[in-house]
Amino acid sequence: MMRGIIRLTDTQLRICKWVGESRYAESQRNRRDPGRGPSSMAADARYHVRGAECECAAAAILNVFWPAYVGAPDGGDDVGGIFGVRSTDRDDGRLIVKPRDLQKGNRPFVLIGKLSGTFSFLGWEWAGVISEHWPLLTDYGDAAHFCPQRALRSLDEAFDLISRIDREWTDPAPSIIPDQEPPR
């Protein structure tokens, strides 16, 4: 396995399929608003399955726990109790942060790409940094900030964040939120 790139096992893919289909059924049952993005047109669980697969891949790449939740995640973090996960199947996919993501505080999000069955860690950034440096757009569905991959932080920086949080677990955010601007 190349660093930051993974293929899920058949067992992991079956678990992700079950989680994604369960999330879709739960969403339908509770009449959750699918938003106005591309997944709103899907009459099946495929986007939920891809989301679960990308969360599983993020957890494996970062060596953190994936709770495989159905329904709202506890605390809003998808993996390791730290990161929200966003997925893309586009080479030029961007890390998307919506205004509701910011209501949960300045937390980190990772972007995982899925192309031809391979999952890649494309980068990460703090939600607050994205909202400050990338405009709120409505061109692609729900209002969101779209951070390009070139401006995302590296896998090494994600590992550094995890290790700092491990050392300062009580309330890590105030001491680890960076003051620097992302590259443009």
Mean pLDDT of 37-56: 80
pLDDT of residue 172: 46
In a domain, 154, yes or no: yes
Pick the closest to residue 44 from 64, 65, 17, 62 (CA basis). Answer: 17
In a domain, 178, yes or no: no
CA dist., res. 156 & res. 172, Å (int): 18
In a domain, 140, yes or no: yes
Asked whether the beta carbons of 47 and 88 are under 8 A apart, the reply is: no
For the record, the structure tokens of 184 come out as 């443009």
In a domain, 103, yes or no: yes
Element (H, E) at 86: strand 84-88
pLDDT of residue 39: 60
Residue 1: pLDDT over 80 = no
- Average pLDDT taken over every residue of the chain: 84
In a domain, 177, yes or no: no
pLDDT of residue 160: 94
Asked whether the beta carbons of 56 and 8 are under 8 A apart, the reply is: yes
In a domain, 180, yes or no: no
pLDDT of residue 75: 56
Q: How many Cα atoms within 13 Å fall on the side-chain side of residue 78?
A: 23
Mean pLDDT of 128-156: 92
Total domain count, the chain: 1
Residue 141: pLDDT over 50 = yes
In a domain, 184, yes or no: no
In a domain, 85, yes or no: yes
Which residue range forms the structural domain that includes residue 134? 5-169
